[in-house]
Homo-oligomer: A and B are copies of this chain.
Amino acid sequence: MAIHGYDPEITALLVIDPYNDFISEGGKIWPRLQAVAEANGCVPHMLQVLTAARNSRIRVFYAMHHRYRPGDYEGWKYIAPIQKAAWKRKSFEFGTWGGEIRAEFQPLPGETIVAEHWCSSGFANTDLDLELKKHGIHQLIVIGLVAHTCVEATVRYAAELGYDVTVVRDATADYTEEAMHAALDVNMPNYANAIVSTAEIVGSIAAMRPTLVETAGFD
């Protein structure tokens, strides 16, 4: 793959579903992600990318899954299997620790949390596209969970909507290596303009750092 360039003015980091239920010890779904996530260092890598983005003043957006609330689905005539599972499991239950963003990933002032998504794509039925447009963003760096569901869905939508997308392959995880492989190696190469490692993207982001040159005066 050729070198992929970034323009800091139009680049944002998109963090998908950094909920305790997903990526914290004790979270409801963590046991299913743990093997793959620990093997590739997903959580520390996510943090490295986030820190790099903040240091380089790259804008940060959070695409968060719908947090379960009682009554959400009772009146629905149609429901996708993944929604049925979230209902049964009460994933990211509103008002519980599992439905909170893991402490190290708490948004800072000036960072944007968009409306919760109901299925898998951070764009579908939310204001993510609007917020990106309002900030003039065209290039997305994507990290988070889960590779073959929310991450892939968001990457596919981003491509459909016209964004340039980079996925960080060791800052995501999945329930099995097979699902991870389907997402990263079979599907995303059609939609992501670059699929890179944390080390690579941290280097690219550092290169976008605003130059602060203070000339020392003479006295």
Contacts and interface: CB of A to CB of B under 8 A. Distances in A.
Interface of A: 59, 71, 74-82, 109-110, 112, 115-116, 118-121, 124-127, 129-130, 133-136, 138-139, 148-149, 152-153, 156-157, 159-165, 178-179, 181-182, 186-187, 189-193
Given A125-B126, A125-B160, A160-B153, A78 B134 contact: yes
A150 to B, nearest CB: 10
A81 B191 contact: yes
Pairs of residues from A and B, 6 with the lowest C-beta to C-beta distance, nearest first: A133-B162, A182-B182, A124-B160, A125-B127, A82-B190, A80-B159
A88 to B, nearest CB: 14
Nearest to A149: B190
A204 to B, nearest CB: 17
A125 B118 contact: no
Q: How many copies does the complex hold?
A: 4
Given A120-B156, A187-B187, 5 more contacts: A80-B193, A119-B191, A133-B138, A133-B162, A182-B187
A158 to B, nearest CB: 9
B121 A125 contact: no
A153 to B, nearest CB: 6
Contacts of A76: 134-135
11 contacts: A75-B110, A75-B112, A76-B134, A78-B138, A118-B130, A120-B156, A125-B126, A130-B161, A153-B156, A156-B156, A182-B187
